[in-house]
Homo-oligomer: A and B are copies of this chain.
Amino acid sequence: MNTLGNIFTVTSFGESHGSYVGCVIDGCPAGLKLNIEAIQEQVDRRKTNQSFYTTSRNETDEIEILSGVFENTTSGAPICIVIKNKDAKSKDYDSLRNLYRPNHADFTNEMKYGIRDYLGGGRSSIRVTAPLVAAGEIANQLLQKETKLQTRAFVSQIGELTLSNPYDLTSLNLDSVDESEVRCPDVDLSNKILELLKQVKEEGDTLGGVITCLIQHVPVGLGEPIFGKLQAELGKAMLSINTVKGFEYGYGFASASMKGSEYNDAFMLEKDVIKTSTNRSGGIQGGISNGMDIYFNVAFKPISSIQQKQQSINKQNEIIEFSIDGRHDVCAVPRAVPIVEAYTHIVLADAFLQNKISRL
Contacts and interface: CB of A to CB of B under 8 A. Distances in A.
Given A205-B260, A245-B249, A263-B302, A76 B269 contact: no
A287 interface: yes
A245 B235 contact: no
Report copies per complex: 4
A159 B24 CA distance: 39
A89 B38 CA distance: 30
Contacts of A287: 105, 108, 124, 240
Given A111-B288, A113-B358, 4 more contacts: A73-B115, A162-B257, A209-B256, A255-B299
Interface in A1-32: 1-4, 6-7, 11-15, 18-22, 24, 26-27, 29-32
A317 interface: yes
Interface stretch (A40-48, A77-85, A169-177, A181-189): A77-85
Interface string A205-247: 1111110000000001101111111011101111110101111
A76 B115 contact: yes
Contacts of A191: none
Contact of A122 (B77, B79, B206, B242): B77
A224 B257 contact: no
Given A26-B2, A303-B260, A232 B221 contact: no
Interface residues on A, range: 35 or more
B75 A253 contact: no
B20 A80 contact: yes
Given A225-B105, A231-B239, A299 B247 contact: no
